[in-house]
């Protein structure tokens, strides 16, 4: 059991305010992913929880105990680094046993725990090798193994998969998810890759320039982004954004202009907006209906076609603004064709001029 | 054709450099093996092989004693300066404290200081040290005073250099390795002993050899602070080798002595060259 509470934490690097009044509650045994573009403070946040970075104000508590002044070893955490950070002069076994030896565990217990971790991670055959004799994926397993052996209450992962090639990354991602089920520990995971975030997380925390942009389950973030940043960050390819303006408001919907060609009634409201306000209309490529009927539609020429097998992405353009639409894998549409894209009103998002979403 | 010219050019240059560097040593070896008359005939190959210079130095002269003195000074100096600078390098590369870069700069500035500038001051200190030392210790061991003082001054002049070099090496060790050890629960001292020391071993050997060569070759202080033949170090010892008559320079013996003192350095370097800079952190981080 290890809830983590971060309470109005601030962090400055010199004059740079990197973490701004962040508060977070991370539930025991959950898998929480901190995600955001580089420089958003996600790694700093993780390092503060680990105790590798001091905090300027606020409190961090693990399991109800304030840990601001505790060194990392007393926080009952383990961390996996992006660069693996294995001890190059030690064998895999010694790398994994190092923490246990420092805890003065008995030889039998060390053996048992290291072998157990090696079994889980399938690195039993490499226990006597040095890190330089291992491939990238094996090294990353050792780094994870080093964390597992100590049986910490909290696992911290700092972009652990970003040094691996694409195929290995997918495989390790699945194994991490499996590991989380097996270990029942609280895991906090930092990544800039929204796919990793979506697939692994119970809860995603989207960070943007030192503040929490939104926290929620992957689908919450996908379906109901709080603002344009989250809308654009979650999902691949990115959500399409089009400038628009409010034509009229009713009790349960807002009617907006659609590309200056038609209009659409989106079932979203915002009290602070009024008729004539400029808004941004957002819709994901996979929700656009190509050559089909929907609540609003628009026609355009296709500039680029990307065939991925299972789906095809069509790149359309309107006044220099690109728009991506998804259609079926074996689409007959070619470059230069004119297509009609339908906008289902229920899938549209509206963002006001300060980029906040309509509810 | 071009390739051939390239090869000739490349190897030709290498041969020139090798001859330029090795020829003096070769000539020293050759001269040391010749008798006193043959020394003055310029030639490329020895006309006779005669070990008498070596026999004279090793068995009829106090030269072995100077080698022992030099070894003592070198070992003491290098071990003290490496130990101190290892810890200093850690704080200078890893601990964030006020004025760290200024501190590094001062160290660099000190290492540029010419020895001659402090010589008189050091001599005065030496006299005080001698007095202090005699008062405290039994007179029976006073012969070692000069050597201890040499160790002290050499350490002083060596530390800026070794600190600077080791700091640079230690900065090259990825920070994550240290952080991983911190998370694993290691104290700073333990990290220095169990993590950094093995990783830094090649760097430490490299630095130690460079420091050792500097000490081995030092002349000015060794000449100033040693008064009797029993505490000469090799450089002074060689300089003071006398001929049989007043105006004779005994080239044969001097060359033999030079060869003898070069040999330990060559052996050490050959023994350790495999360890020098052999991939500091291979396998630890990505790639």
Q: Model confidence over A247-281: pLDDT tens digits?
A: 888 888 888 888 777 788 888 888 888 888 888 98
Question: Is A102's CB within 8 Å of B184's CB?
Answer: yes
* DSSP-based three-state secondary structure for A99: helix
Please, which residues bridge with residue A4 across strands? A26, A62
* DSSP-based three-state secondary structure for A315: strand
Q: Report yes or no: A134 and B283 within 8 Å, Cβ to Cβ.
A: yes
Which superfamily does B62-240 belong to? MetI-like (1.10.3720.10)
Interface test with A, best of B94, B173, B183 (most A CBs within 10 A): B183
Considering only CB atoms, which chain A residues are within 8 Å of B185? 72-73, 99, 102-103
Mean of the per-residue pLDDT values of chain A: 89
Residue-wise pLDDT tens digits, B185-228: 899 999 999 999 988 888 888 888 889 989 999 999 999 888 88
With a cut of 60, say whether residue B158 has pLDDT above it. yes
CA A126 to chain B, closest CA, distance in angstroms equals 14
B186 in reach of chain A (CB within 8 A): yes
List the domains of chain A with CATH numbers.
4-233 (3.40.50.300), 240-351 (2.40.50.140)
With a cut of 70, say whether residue B169 has pLDDT above it. yes
Residue-wise pLDDT tens digits, B48-86: 788 888 888 888 888 888 999 999 999 999 999 999 999
> How many whole angstroms separate alpha carbon A197 and alpha carbon A230?
13
- Of B270 and A23, the one with more pLDDT: A23
Q: What is the pLDDT of residue A127?
A: 93
With a cut of 90, say whether residue A284 has pLDDT above it. yes
Backbone angle region of A259, left / alpha / beta, with phi > 0 → left and psi within -120 to 50 → alpha: left
What is the predicted ipTM? Answer: 0.84
Q: Report yes or no: B101 and B171 within 8 Å, Cβ to Cβ.
A: no
With a cut of 70, say whether residue B141 has pLDDT above it. no
Considering only CB atoms, which chain B residues are within 8 Å of A79? 179-180, 183
**H helices present in chain A, as ranges:** 42-50, 92-102, 107-121, 136-149, 166-183, 194-200, 218-223, 228-233
- Of B62 and A204, the one with more pLDDT: A204
Backbone angle region of B243, left / alpha / beta, with phi > 0 → left and psi within -120 to 50 → alpha: beta
With a cut of 60, say whether residue A173 has pLDDT above it. yes
CA A36 to chain B, closest CA, distance in angstroms equals 22
Q: What is the DSSP letter of A239?
A: P
> How many whole angstroms separate alpha carbon B19 and alpha carbon B25?
10
A142 in reach of chain B (CB within 8 A): no
> How many whole angstroms separate alpha carbon B284 and alpha carbon B174?
9
**Which of B174, B183, B194 faces A50 most closely, judged by CB atoms?**
B183
- Band the pLDDT of B285: cuts 50, 70, 90: low
Q: Report yes or no: A327 and A285 within 8 Å, Cβ to Cβ.
A: no
> How many whole angstroms separate alpha carbon B64 and alpha carbon B50?
20
Of B41, B62, B13, nearest in space to B236 by CA = B62
> Once rounded to an integer, what is the mean pLDDT over residues A26-51?
91
- Environment class of residue A168 by beta-carbon count within 10 Å: exposed (0-12), middle (13-18) or buried (19+)? middle
């Amino acid at each position: 059991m290890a809830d983590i509470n971060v309470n109005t934490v601030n962090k400055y690097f010199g004059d740079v305010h990197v973490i701004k009044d962040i508060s977070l509650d991370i539930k025991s045994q959950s898998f929480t992913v901190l995600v955001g573009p580089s420089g958003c403070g996600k790694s700093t946040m993780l390092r503060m929880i680990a105790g590798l970075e001091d905090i300027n104000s606020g409190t961090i508590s693990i399991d109800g105990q304030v840990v601001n002044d505790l060194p990392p070893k007393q926080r009952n955490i383990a961390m996996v680094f992006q660069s693996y950070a294995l001890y190059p002069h030690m064998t895999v076994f010694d790398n994994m046993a190092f923490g246990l030896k420092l805890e003065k565990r008995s030889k039998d217990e060390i053996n048992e725990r290291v072998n157990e971790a090696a079994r889980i991670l399938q690195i039993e055959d490499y226990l006597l090798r040095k890190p330089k004799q291992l491939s990238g994926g094996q090294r990353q397993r050792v780094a994870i193994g080093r964390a597992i052996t100590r049986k910490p209450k909290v696992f911290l992962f700092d972009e652990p998969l970003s040094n691996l090639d694409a195929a290995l990354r997918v495989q390790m991602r699945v194994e991490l998810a499996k590991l989380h089920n097996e270990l029942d520990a609280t895991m906090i995971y930092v990544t800039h890759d929204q796919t990793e975030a979506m697939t692994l997380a119970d809860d995603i925390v989207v960070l943007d320039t030192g503040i929490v942009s939104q926290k929620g389950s992957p689908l919450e973030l996908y379906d109901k982004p709080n603002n344009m940043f989250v809308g654009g960050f979650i999902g691949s390819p990115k959500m399409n954004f089009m400038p628009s303006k409010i034509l009229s408001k009713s009790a349960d919907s807002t009617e907006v202009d659609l590309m200056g060609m038609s209009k659409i009634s989106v079932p979203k409201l915002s009290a602070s907006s009024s008729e004539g306000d400029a808004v941004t209309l957002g819709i994901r490529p996979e929700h656009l209906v190509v050559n089909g009927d929907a609540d609003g539609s628009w026609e355009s020429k296709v500039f680029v076609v990307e065939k991925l097998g299972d789906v095809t992405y069509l790149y359309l353009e309107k006044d220099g603004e690109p728009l991506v639409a998804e259609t079926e894998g074996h689409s007959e549409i070619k470059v230069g064709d004119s297509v009609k894209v339908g906008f289902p009103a229920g899938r549209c998002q509206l963002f006001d001029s300060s980029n906040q979403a309509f509810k | 054709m071009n390739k051939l010219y390239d090869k000739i050019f490349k190897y030709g240059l290498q041969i020139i450099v090798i001859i330029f560097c090795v020829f003096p040593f070769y000539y020293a070896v050759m001269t040391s093996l010749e008798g006193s008359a043959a020394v003055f005939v310029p030639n490329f190959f020895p006309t006779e092989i005669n070990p008498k210079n070596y026999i004279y130095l090793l068995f009829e002269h106090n030269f072995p004693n100077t080698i022992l003195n030099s070894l003592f000074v070198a070992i003491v100096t290098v071990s003290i300066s490496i130990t101190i600078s290892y810890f200093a390098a850690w704080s200078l590369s890893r601990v964030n404290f006020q004025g760290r870069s200024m501190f590094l700069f001062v160290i660099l500035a000190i290492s540029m200081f010419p020895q001659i500038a402090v010589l008189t001051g050091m001599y005065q200190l030496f006299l005080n040290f001698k007095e202090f030392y005699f008062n405290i210790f039994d007179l029976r061991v006073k012969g070692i005073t000069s050597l201890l003082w040499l160790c002290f001054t050499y350490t002083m002049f060596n530390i800026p250099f070794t600190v600077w070099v080791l700091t640079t090496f230690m900065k090259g060790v990825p920070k994550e390795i240290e952080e991983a050890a911190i998370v694993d629960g290691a104290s700073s001292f333990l990290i220095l002993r169990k993590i950094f020391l093995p990783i830094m071993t090649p760097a430490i050997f490299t630095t130690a050899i460079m420091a050792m060569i500097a000490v081995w070759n030092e002349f000015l202080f060794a000449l100033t602070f040693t008064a009797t033949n029993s505490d000469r170090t090799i450089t002074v010892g060689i300089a003071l080798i006398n001929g049989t008559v007043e105006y004779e320079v005994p080239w044969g013996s001097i060359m033999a002595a030079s060869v003898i003192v070069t040999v330990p350095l060559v052996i050490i370097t050959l023994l350790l060259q495999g360890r020098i800079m052999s991939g500091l952190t291979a396998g630890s981080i990505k790639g």
